[in-house]
Amino acid sequence: MRLEGKVAVITGGASGIGQATVLKFVREGAKVVIADMNLAQAEEVVAQVDALGFEGSTTAVRTDVSVYADVEAAVARAVEVYGRLDVIFNNAGIAGGKPLLDHDPAVDYAPMIRVDQDGVYYGILAAGRQFRDQGTGGVIISTSSIYGEQAAELSFTYSAAKAAVISFTRSAAYELAEFGIRAVAITPGRVGTPIINQFSEDLKSTFASEQLRNKMTAPEEIANVVAFLASDESNVINGTVVHVDDGYSVFKQRLDLPTF
């Protein structure tokens, strides 16, 4: 088990990629603090983990990642319950979109920046301080997006926040290396999470066609990569962006080629 003995905080751990990563981490031997706004749902994940035979491997804490004190508290909970912290997965996020000129800044800009951008900054800061104080190093993994590297429809604020995650990651890796801390960002493409699964079948089919396998990525497939990045097997992956987009970023669309 590649994460045996490691302790992690996973934000947004009650659903989607976060939930899948919680399950992957405990199967790999880790202890996990599930930090999520929805405490009841986070506690359901704890019960799910217990039912799988990993009782005591997880604990839930209500966390609003847009509030630094909440993120600090999640880190402190890991130390209180499990004695240390080795990994933080800054995964909590919200989505949504509207044409730029129709924006109400209080609705279409500020909330997403607070969660998708500030929440990652807070996770890097709180975990980084804990890693430094422990003197043991650690790993910071943050969820960016394919939209963090390109323009896309209805995503002005979302893309900006996800681009900031990439910049945060590079700067954190640079500044924190002296403490034995690694920082990595991942850029998922079209993943079958509750955010996307609410859309029509036609739209989901279009999303799937944007990836090379012509299907949506499963949250568990992202979790597999995150577990690897959290492990000592990936010690040379630092300050970089790991694309987990099934080729979304390498092509625009498939064409019906003419016969030559």
Residue 65 CB neighbour total at 10 angstroms: 27
CA–CA separation, 205 and 226 (whole Å): 26
Residue 243 has φ and ψ, to the nearest 5°, of -80, 125
Query: Helices (DSSP H) in 83-118: which residue ranges?
Result: 110-112
Tell me the three state secondary structure of residue 61. strand
Q: Do residues 146 and 188 lie in contact, with contact meaning Cβ atoms separated by under 8 Å?
A: yes
- Find the angle CA(11)-CA(165)-CA(20) to the nearest 5 degrees: 35
CA–CA separation, 226 and 246 (whole Å): 15
Residue 134 has φ and ψ, to the nearest 5°, of -70, -30
Read off the DSSP letter of residue 191: B
List 121, 158, 174, 248, catalytic entry: 158
Q: Is 158 an annotated catalytic residue?
A: yes
Name the nearest CA neighbour of 162 among 132, 181, 186, 182: 186
Q: Do residues 30 and 42 lie in contact, with contact meaning Cβ atoms separated by under 8 Å?
A: no
Name the nearest CA neighbour of 86 among 177, 171, 9: 9
Residues assigned a catalytic role: 158
